[in-house]
Homo-oligomer: A and B are copies of this chain.
Amino acid sequence: MNKALLVVDVQKAFYNEKWGDRNNHDAEEKMATLIDHWRKKGLEVIYIQHQSNDPESVFYTKQEGVEIKESVKPIGEEQIFTKTVNSGFIGTNLESYLREREINEVVIVGLTTPHCVSTTARMSGNLGFHTYVVSDATAAYGIYDQDGNYVEPEKVHTVSLATIHEEFALVMTTDQLIKKLAL
């Protein structure tokens, strides 16, 4: 089985103070560990990059925020899919790219757990890919609900993972994944 590592939205824009508190500050280190394993095995590392045409957005294409963070950035011919919504599968050729390469295992890491990671994982699972989400290689910021109540980062993260586990994806830690996929 061919395995792809999807690195979702790990971009400088997410280190802007506007996002407030987040959990899992070691997530990028875990992502880098997985990227390293992937490259050593000659497996496919795929980047998903969020872009906006709105000059007000921190993801606006013509400024630094849109760039992928140095510590996890692509090298050589690694594929980058740019998107303008949360799902890596909407408005991109990601699905056909995976199918053409007979990739049927998709491992997802990146930012943020409740939005782009969760949505990409949900679609990946529903499209029939064996999907994994790496709990310590993803992270969440605090968010406000429709009544203005603050939900703290760790709660957003853990409940987001619980809602996808065994329904769309298997959720596990970096160490568990390395063992599970014999990387």
Which residue numbers of A lie inside 8 Å of B, CB to CB? 85-87, 90, 114-115, 118-119, 122-123, 125-127, 135, 143-146, 149, 151, 155-156, 158-163, 165-168, 170-172
Kindly list chain B residues whose C-beta atoms are within 8 Å of the C-beta of A171. Answer: 145-146
| CB-based contact B151/A156 at 8 Å | no
Given known A163-B160, A165-B146, contact A126–B119 (CB-CB < 8 A)? yes
Q: How many copies does the complex hold?
A: 2
A-B contact pairs, 10 of them (CB 8 A): A90-B126, A114-B163, A123-B123, A143-B162, A143-B163, A144-B165, A145-B161, A145-B171, A146-B166, A155-B159
Kindly list chain B residues whose C-beta atoms are within 8 Å of the C-beta of A135. Answer: 146
Kindly list chain B residues whose C-beta atoms are within 8 Å of the C-beta of A151. Answer: 158-159, 162
**Complex CA–CA separation, A99 to B87 (angstroms):** 20
Kindly list chain B residues whose C-beta atoms are within 8 Å of the C-beta of A119. Answer: 122-123, 126, 168
| CB-based contact B126/A146 at 8 Å | no
| CB-based contact B161/A159 at 8 Å | no
**Cβ contact of A162, chosen from B85, B87, B156, B161, cutoff 8 A:** B156
For A163, give the chain B residue with the smallest CB separation: B114
Kindly list chain B residues whose C-beta atoms are within 8 Å of the C-beta of A122. Answer: 86-87, 118-119, 122
